[in-house]
Structure 1
Amino acid sequence: MSQKVLMKGNEAIGEAALKAGCKCFFGYPITPQTEISAYMAKKMPTMGRVFLQAESEIAAIHMIYGAAGTGTRCMTSSSSPGISLKAEGISYIAGAELPCVIINIVRGGPGLGGIQPAQSDYFQATKGGAHGDFHMPVFAPSSIQEMVDLIQEAFDVADQYRTPVMIMGDGMLGQMMEPVEFKESTSTRQLPEKTWAANGRNGRVHHNVINSLFLKSEALEEHNIHLQKKFDAITENETKYELMNTDDADLILVAYGTTARICKNVIKLAKAQGINLGLIRPITLWPYPAAAFDATIGNTKFGYLAVEMSMGQMVEDVRLSVEGRKPVHFYGRSGGMIPAPEDILNKVMEIVGGNK
């Protein structure tokens, strides 16, 4: 059994990626994720692997395109404005069906915003984030241990489906320290051989060409239909969520990442006041766990309360999942402000207090 070590979230991401077989890292520094690049810069050369600080985020994502095209496990990381700069390259990568992992340690926005934690990149991550008909799986860990565990899964999902995969944490998860254990992978996935990779002929009679350009409309539509079937398979097989105390709840909170940890404390505070709260914690933001709402819709008296570090983004997917069957409420903080348990509880009391 491996020993737990105390690590900063960003550095734990780097170590987990190395253990998952990441051979190439291309990035550019931006707070609050810079320690990922710093960690990889220190470790990768000693392991015979490739670290390169690109001249920009745009350059870094296109280097990922090239490395991923050879079938090599590769990763990039950034924070909110940097992910915006990578958007075109992410669309190219999705269109060319190239596996890679993208880390976004979210800071407040819009614009340069600030370096404090936020969840205001939800739309960017889950609604495409770039041009064209595509999705990418998005994992939202709520602890450094979960972040470490999901790194291995992200690389495996990327390879299985030939897709970019994002892990989206906030600045708090990147900067805080917690004990983590680097476990041996127990995955039973049967990952396909990368016969598509442009890595030399290797006895093949044909060339492998990596491309996302289709000049004939019929061919591009066929490609988009093929991609959609893949996205449907990801939705069916890879959706993840946690349910807590949802069998008989006055109100069910919906939160992810750091905010979900805060909401677990709110559940304890509310119980002391005779209010029974539940929690739906999406672990995949895309595909979004609509099934969690189908499973709990009959178990809540006053509906759902989405709690976010944004002005209200995930709440739209909550409403879509609930489909008008129960009320959906929202509480959010923005700009790097972190919701306090007492403030969330006050919102809960506003909803259920006079109706108990």
Structure 2
Amino acid sequence: MQLRTAMSTSRDPVARGRELGTEFAPQFARTQALYLDHFDELGIRAEVVRGIAERSRAALAAWAPGLAAEADAIADAAQVERWRVAAVGARTEILAAAPQAVSECSTAVHVGPGQAAESIQTWDWHDFLVPEGLLWEFPSAAGLDVKLFTEFGTAAKIGVNSAGLGLHFNILSHVSDSDAGGVPVHAIARRVLEEARSIDDARRVAASATVSASTVLTVFETGPAGSRAASLELSPAGVGVVDPEADGWLLHTNHFLDPELCGGDTIPADSTTRERFAHLDAVRSALAGLSPAARAVAACGGQGADADICMTPDPALPRVEQWATLLTIAVDTEAFALDVFPGRPDEAAAGLTRF
């Protein structure tokens, strides 16, 4: 995956969307075409895809009009039909119609009194869907500066704001997920980054959205007294909040941890989510106090590319069952920065690029 960077100075969502759509028109056009082909490959009918995309776009317009206007401005500037960009923005909501499509991501955050938050995440997805990703910095209408990583068409994925709040993103799957077309979960991540100055703010924003697909936003903050974290598990059945362990570590992969919501977990049986969680649990004591690059390598536990958190596509499997670690990323809430490497954590020894 090639990482593109952009910086906007406007707080106006239409102006920002027009800027992005003009500068990256080929990327937006290519991404929507790749996703529409992928949905077809998964057996999701074209009319179902468009229906979910349009319902999710309407839900977004009611919940966050600025984000809907930004997405429309991107589509218009890139000369792509609006519903097609909306389909990428609602790709998790559409994938809820094909539960086997759940992706594999692993997150670890360490917090505590008198220390800044430390984090690491692998983002695992299909490499054929994301030839390019976006690192974007912009000011929000709420008065915060935001830095984030995302795909071309999704509102946000992983990021940090100038209030010292960071966010990691992992997909989940729940029996209550449906094709109703709720607020896109990527847009919830975006609004948290634009508005939240604390975990309590993030929880308020997340709980205000009606969703049709599940995900977990692991949010964390660094302030004068130290750092805190919580995983906000979102599903149509409700919001669960998972706190760090006594040693300050908060881990999450792709299964529910909330005691009530976990009963409705529908993660596919062949997911490696529990193995990856166990791996992070086994190595967590060796991850604190390291540079982002050293933390990424240490997260492999000496196993290198064979570590459970490292995904390499298996060409013997059907394409839709091939997973790759496309990004290793750490969020620095104290310095308002993202440290990124476009690949597996075992490959990050040479260093992550600071954005």
- Return the TM-score normalized by structure 2: 0.26
Structure of higher CA gyration radius: 1
Structure richer in strand, relative to its length = 2
- Return the TM-score normalized by structure 1: 0.26
